Chain A
Amino acid sequence: MKSSSPLKWFATREGLYYVALAVLLVVLLPLALDPFRLNMVGKYLTYAFVAIGLVMCWGKAGILSLGQGVFFGLGGYCMAMFLKLEASTPEATAIQSTPGIPDFMDWNQLTELPWFWEPFHSFSFTLLAVIGVPVLLAFVIGFAMFTRRVGGVYFAIITQAIAAILTILIIGQQGYTGGVNGITDLQTLNGWDIRTDEARTILYFVCVGMLFLCLFVARLVQNRKLGRILVAMNAQENRVRFSGYDVAAFKIFVFCLAAAFAGVGGAMFTLIVGFMSPSFIGIVASIEMVIFCALGGRLSILGAVYGALLVNAAKSGFSESFPELWPFAMGALFIGVVLAFPNGLAGLYQTYVMPLEDKIFKRNKGAQLEAKPAEKAAEPKPTAEKTSDYDPMIDSYSPEKS
């Protein structure tokens, strides 16, 4: 199972799972869906970024954040501010009493652009801010909490409170933030109209690309020693501490990583949906994000992607026919997941589908080994080749790995 060349990796079981997801997102869905539906899928995928972050932060490291909407929102608002400034040229806003500033500022009697809006004229600053602002806030929260050893339920409650505070702040400061309506009427990105079907399809593919980038970053982290320390910290925090690790630093890191993913997701959301508002970032939205992660499987980054897709698709389906039933359905779903299959879809897959795959895989493997007996003899410790070697969840030890 050595991944000596990157191409070979795609033929491993784990590689095939990624290929399958790529085929689904890049080939099947675009072929099967009209631009409107594809755009919806793109919107669901932006939540997958958050869910991947939650897998790392909650599933692996055991830090439950009920405020991921905050980071999603910050990323989204950064992008929305840039787009709004681009849409608010003096020509386009000539009828305002102060032309050249966003319309909602004019309605709220602001006569000049607030200082913190100024840098968002720059696209490169915006791209930095999409990741930088959420990470900075996560760092401040993480530093304040984790160095004081605040954790568990207390941490979850604090993150939830922060989600509430941010929503109230945005709604209250209407002149600076667009208030409860959010930042709307976004039109072009560097002159490129993002509202056409064609642009939306391109944005969908950009979103898929970014998603895979995040998946690979998450995979890198989880497969390195860093990932094992996160898992170890979850179960035996003191043992990690007394093995010479600064536990707080690792917690801050993973919380910032999750915030960065969420920020990217939020920015993609703004681009794909065309506006950003406080309703996407508050308490309810943040808890929904945890449900995406829980349903998909909180230990599996791929599971999180499917979780985000399925729950959001179900939500749209339900809301179209029985809008008032959705909250109940979602509540039932969450209780069901917690009671019946705590490791989510990924857990079910591992229990029921993987054994079937094992049979097929082993047969192929056996055939391969017969075909190359010389290679087998050359291996120093064939005993290390166990079924667990194929398990993408476990980066198992084998002495010949380097």
Chain B
Amino acid sequence: MSAAKSKSGDFLLAVEGLTVSFDGFKAVDDLSFYLDPKEIRVIIGPNGAGKTTVLDLICGKTKATSGSIKFDGKELTKLKEHQIVHSGVGRKFQTPSVFEDLTVFENLEVSYPKGHSVMGALGFKRDAEVIKAVEEVAETIFLTEALNEPAASLSHGQKQWLEIGMLLIQKPDLLMLDEPVAGMSVTERKKTAELLRVITRDHTVLVIEHDMQFVGDIADRVTVMHQGKVLSEGSIEHVKSDPKVIEVYLGH
């Protein structure tokens, strides 16, 4: 897949002129990129390039100084975090953030997209539909055996999967993953790649990753960021052979 089909306005995500400055420092500087539906995009770049900040801006954790983020026709920069989630954007954080005091089942149940208001959560029933959804997701993320375990007892890799599962059960259109294989063992990495391949069949995915092997495995297109701007964009081969990218990121 290359950058051929880009003029029709029906992108799933259109980021245009996005800028955020912290006390004058522009962490993201006039950034624009576009995601097609069902695309798998990987953002790479050196430390401090602004990759995580981009995800923060999309999911509303950080407010943009200027620019626009259009998702499925909606302007996200004006919405609150939970409204952005409801419009179909799921975000996984870099360090696994699961609810350690709850069981794996409860973690997934809390993430199930029903009963989001206070009264809804009070009236929420654990019906067959919920149990089925939880069991399906648990199967996808290799945690069927651990459903009754408290999340605190999971390994690092399993927590990462659980958090991915917590996103999946929300049925988002866009999944954003921040370094999903960081700190994983080789076997866990393989299983995660397998998991991502399953996920990407019916989701649009935006991933931040450093592991170039892994990036090559999963990416449709790669965006290289440097100092808050897009340095290069295209297929993995294109990016790898771009002299600018070699200069600042990949090394000679």
What are the residues of chain A within 8 A of B59 when measuring CB–CB?
A: 242
User: What are 29 sample pairs from A and B whose C-beta atoms fall under 8 A apart?
Assistant: A224-B121, A225-B109, A228-B99, A228-B102, A228-B106, A228-B110, A229-B110, A229-B121, A231-B99, A232-B101, A232-B102, A235-B101, A236-B98, A236-B99, A238-B93, A239-B93, A239-B163, A241-B81, A242-B85, A242-B91, A243-B111, A244-B85, A244-B86, A244-B170, A245-B82, A246-B117, A397-B103, A397-B105, A402-B126
Interface residues of B in 80-112 (CB under 8 A from A): 80-82, 85-86, 90-91, 93, 97-103, 105-107, 109-111
Decide if A243 touches B148 in the complex (CB within 8 Å): no
A321 to B101, CA, bound (A): 44
**Residue positions of A touching B, CB distance < 8 A:** 220-221, 224-226, 228-229, 231-232, 234-236, 238-247, 249-250, 253, 384, 386, 388, 394, 396-397, 399, 401-402
Decide if A396 touches B127 in the complex (CB within 8 Å): no
Known: A238-B61, A402-B127. 10 other contacts (CB 8 A): A225-B115, A226-B121, A231-B99, A232-B107, A240-B110, A242-B90, A243-B166, A244-B82, A244-B86, A396-B103
A163 to B109, CA, bound (A): 38
Q: How far is the CB of A303 from chain B (nearest CB, A)?
A: 17
A99 to B208, CA, bound (A): 78
Q: How far is the CB of B145 from chain A (nearest CB, A)?
A: 10
B128 at the interface (CB under 8 A from A): yes
Q: Which of A231, A239, A249, A388 contacts B118 (CB 8 A)?
A: A249
B190 at the interface (CB under 8 A from A): no
What are the residues of chain A within 8 A of B110 when measuring CB–CB?
A: 225, 228-229, 232, 240, 243
- Number of B residues near A (Cβ < 8 Å) is 42
> In the complex, what residue of chain A is closest to B125 when comparing beta carbons?
A402
> In the complex, what residue of chain B is closest to A230 when comparing beta carbons?
B121
Decide if B116 touches A231 in the complex (CB within 8 Å): no
Interface flags, B114-141, vs A, CB<8A=1, else 0: 0111100111111110010000000000
Q: Which 8 residue pairs are nearest across A and B when measured between Cβ atoms?
A: A244-B85, A397-B105, A225-B124, A226-B121, A232-B99, A239-B97, A253-B118, A226-B122
What are the residues of chain B within 8 A of A394 when measuring CB–CB?
A: 103
Interface residues of B in 46-96 (CB under 8 A from A): 59, 61, 80-82, 85-86, 90-91, 93
